[in-house]
């Protein structure tokens, strides 16, 4: 597992209301061969976008939820459901 990606994905899911144990990993962070240097430019842009949006979760909640739901490699399980 890649620690930076794993923490980002855990934080991402947590701000959307789903807290997973650190024994769980999203697909993008559970790949033991993953290295940040191996991320595609699209993946890097996505991670940067998430990081920027998470600076103000209250204002960007729905956009964050949409990114989570549309990007399977970030998901621990199914979609974040409406509350």
pLDDT per 10-residue tile (average), the chain, 83 residues: 72 78 67 70 87 92 91 68 48
What is the model's pLDDT at position 31? Answer: 65
Strand ranges in 2-83 using DSSP code E only, listed in sequence order: none
pTM of the model: 0.70
Place of tokens 């993008």: 28
CB-based contacts of 76: which residues, under 8 Å, 6+ apart?
Answer: 9, 13, 18, 20, 24, 25, 26
What is the model's pLDDT at position 77? Answer: 65
Cα(83)–Cα(66) distance, integer angstroms: 14
Domain boundaries, the chain: 3-74
What is the model's pLDDT at position 60? Answer: 95
What is the model's pLDDT at position 79? Answer: 43
């Amino acid at each position: 597992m890649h620690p930076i990606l794993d923490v980002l994905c855990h934080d991402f899911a947590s701000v959307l209301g789903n807290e997973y144990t650190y024994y769980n990993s999203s697909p993008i962070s559970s790949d033991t061969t993953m290295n940040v240097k191996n991320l595609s430019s699209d993946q890097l842009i996505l991670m940067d976008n998430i990081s920027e949006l998470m600076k103000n979760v209250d204002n960007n909640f729905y956009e964050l939820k949409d990114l989570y739901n549309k990007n399977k490699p970030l998901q621990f399980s199914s979609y974040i459901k409406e509350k």
